[in-house]
Structure formats: C-alpha cells, structure tokens
Amino acid sequence: MVPPIIGESPVIHNIKTLIGKVAKTGENILICGETGVGKDLVAQNLYHQSNRVGKPFVKLNCACLTESLFEIDISCFDKPATKEGSQQKGQLFDKICGGILYLDNIDLLSPSHQLEILPFLENDDHAILDLQAPESVDVCMISSSNQDLEKMVEEGKFNELLYFRLSTFRIDIDPLRERPEDIPFLINYYYKKYVSNNNNQKMITHDREAMEKLCTYHWPGNVRELQNILKRIMFLEGRGETISDLIGTAKVDYKSANDETTKEMMSKANNFSDYFKSHESELTKLPYKKARKKLVGMVEKELISNVLEETGWNRSKASDILNLSYKTLLFKIRELNIQPSERWAK
C-alpha cells in the first residue's frame, strides 16, 4: 500500500486534489521541488490512482544513467513501487509497455538521452531528429526535478521541446519551511510508524519547547531531514525523556526570529495544548479531521497575526520572519481572514 501524503496545509491539500484530477489522464507529469520534499511519494500516489495500477512502475535515476536507454537492464516490479522482482534485460520501453516510467532527477539527463526519449513522446519529430522511429509503445512518463527547469531551458542546459512534452501537467511541492503547519502531523505519523516497525512502545513526549524548535527550524533537507532526526531520537540513547532533551544541541536556525519578543510569539502560537483547552468545548463537538483543521488554523492565525502586528503590517518583513514566501503569506492572510488591529488599520 502506498504511503499517504501527510499534512494539512493548503499546499498539501492542493497537491492531493491535483493528483486526483491528473492521475487518470495518461498524460506526462512533471514533479518539481527541493531535495527531500517527497517527490517520489507523489509519483507513487500518481501511479496508484492511475488507470495503469498493476502494470509496471519503473524508476530510473537519471544521475546514474551511463548507457543508452535502449540497452538498459531494468528491474520490473511484481508489486510496483513496493516489491522488487527479478531483473530482465532488453528494450526498456518494451518491458514497461502499458505502465509508467518514472524519471527521477530529469535535470541530470544527458543531452544524448534527452534526444533518445523525444521520439517516444511524439512521432511527428522522428524525421527532424534523424532518429530511427521506434514502434508505438504505450508508456506514461512521470519525471521529477529539484532544479528550475525553465531556467535551464533558457540557459540552453535542457531541451526545450522535451521540457514541454514532459510537463503536460506540473505538480510543485513547496519546501517544508514554507508550510510549518505540516510539521506536527509529519512528526506524529513518522514517529508512530518507526515505533510500530521496531516493536518499540516507548513514546517520547512532544513537549512545547521541542515543537517550537521543530516548527521554526529551516529544514534544508525537508521531510527527509525530519525523518532522519526522528530516527536519531529513537535509536540513539539520550538521557532526557523529551525531544528537547535529545535535540537540545542540534543547530536550530530561527532565521530573523531571534529576539525574545518573536520567540515568545512563536512559543505562544506553537502551544497547541493551550489552544485546545481554551476551545475544548467547541472542538470536541466536531469530527476529528475538522477539529484538527480548525486547531491548525487557530495556531496559524495567531502566529501570523502577531508577526504582522509586530512589523506594522509590513508583509515583506513578516514573510522573512515567518520564513514564508510573500505569495504564501498573502494567501494565508486571505484564507484565515486576518485583519489589522485599529493601530494599523487604514
């Protein structure tokens, strides 16, 4: 079973919706995002929601390709994306006909490999490329990149024709630092998963200080880095019983939020327990998912409102402090209906 996409941010909700809309189209899909954001996970979800589920799903890391695509040894999967079967040698596209070819790190595909793929995407260009026309094959392509492919096209580093044919649909995954509201849900999911997988019933408390650190860290390695930190917490011995005790020496970057006032605001906004207690009667009447979404919204609204007030509603400065893109901040302000106080209202 494919792992779920975890998170309650607008970004994650939009990605889930988009996957549901494009997975069954049979069109080529490009997934873009920094290293560690979960591009492979999105590719697997696209496969499992497509009309090709049960057919081969083959992932090729373009950074490792040295031979012609037509001479590759590939591993076909008995249960695509989960269980590896026996290796088969032969024509790559013949072996996965009817299935999906997932090209990871497409930006690292060599110019010669880029030209090899083009004929399989549109027969009209065989003569232009002066390549032997392949027989018609039914293969859907998903590709991913952690680079700005449009910029690479402009700089002549990536084939423009190939870019447009691979990106009929495009899914962008924002870095974790721009969607901190997803962090508590990711921690909860992966920590329980690791405990279950290792028959370890000891749970380490997610205390206020720890959650503040985790939610304000800039996560250069994104979700993958978060997973690694949780594994260290589980498998490396520590004297304390809380996450704070175990990651107390970790390098935590508060970005611009390094003064006591801003730290206090972040601490207040990250204190889920206080919010739940003050709204307990309201939240307990709602279904779990709605209550969870409402609680996250409360925390987001409080945090963003406080930062905007402290900066005099200077959105550019607030976006820097919150480590959000300016566009994301404006979206949050509208979504959460955040209004300036009388002090800053015009």
For residue 1, being part of any structural domain is answered with no
For residue 2, being part of any structural domain is answered with no
Q: Give pLDDT, residue 55.
A: 92
216 close to 254: Cβ distance less than 8 angstroms: yes
183-204: average pLDDT:
75
State whether 61 and 91 are in the same domain: yes
Q: Give pLDDT, residue 169.
A: 96
Provide the domain count of the chain: 2
Last residue of a domain, one of 139, 158, 173: 173
Calculate the alpha carbon distances from 110 to 118, 265, 280, 318, 328 in Å.
13, 49, 57, 42, 35
- Helices 260-269 and 288-310 pack at an angle, to 10 degrees, of 160
For residue 4, being part of any structural domain is answered with no
Q: Give pLDDT, residue 17.
A: 95
Q: ∠ at Cα 327 (322, 331), nearest 5°?
A: 85
State whether 134 and 233 are in the same domain: no
- Helices 288-310 and 326-335 pack at an angle, to 10 degrees, of 120
Question: Any idea which residue has 């611009």 for tokens?
Answer: 256
Q: Give pLDDT, residue 35.
A: 92
With CA atoms as reference, report the closest residue to 99 among 115, 68, 113, 78.
Answer: 78
Question: Any idea which residue has 């799903």 for tokens?
Answer: 57
Q: Residue 140's domain spans which residues?
A: 10-173
Q: Is the pLDDT of residue 22 over 60?
A: yes
260-276: average pLDDT:
48
State whether 196 and 278 are in the same domain: yes
**Model pLDDT for residues 285-306, shown as the tens digit of each residue:** 777 667 767 777 777 888 888 8
Provide the pairing of β-strand 73-79 with 83-89.
Answer: antiparallel
State whether 155 and 205 are in the same domain: no
State whether 166 and 244 are in the same domain: no
The domain that holds 169 is classified in CATH as 3.40.50.300
With CA atoms as reference, report the closest residue to 40 among 224, 226, 229.
Answer: 224
Q: Residue 297 CB: number of other CB atoms within 10 A?
A: 16
Question: Any idea which residue has 């607030």 for tokens?
Answer: 318
- List the helix and strand counts (H, then E) for the chain: 17, 7
Q: Give pLDDT, residue 71.
A: 56
Of residues 264 and 329, more confidence is placed in 329
State whether 16 and 163 are in the same domain: yes
Q: Which of 7-16, 37-46, 163-172, 288-297 has the lowest mean pLDDT?
A: 288-297
For residue 344, being part of any structural domain is answered with no
Listed in sequence order, the residues at least 6 apart from 344 whose beta carbon sits closer than 8 Å to its beta carbon are 308, 309, 312, 313
Q: Is the pLDDT of residue 45 over 60?
A: yes
State whether 87 and 203 are in the same domain: no
**How many whole angstroms separate alpha carbon 283 and alpha carbon 280?**
5
State whether 104 and 196 are in the same domain: no
38 by Cβ neighbours in 10 Å (0-12 / 13-18 / 19+) ranks as: buried
- Helices 10-22 and 326-335 pack at an angle, to 10 degrees, of 90
DSSP string for residues in 72-124 = -EEEEEEETTTEEEEEEES-HHHHTTTSEEEEETGGG--HHHHHHHHHHH-GG
For residue 216, being part of any structural domain is answered with yes
For residue 319, being part of any structural domain is answered with yes
Q: Give pLDDT, residue 208.
A: 66
Structure tokens at 330: 């404006």
80 by Cβ neighbours in 10 Å (0-12 / 13-18 / 19+) ranks as: buried
E strands in 130-184: 140-145, 169-172
Beta-bridge partners for 157:
none
State whether 220 and 145 are in the same domain: no
Last residue of a domain, one of 173, 205, 221: 173
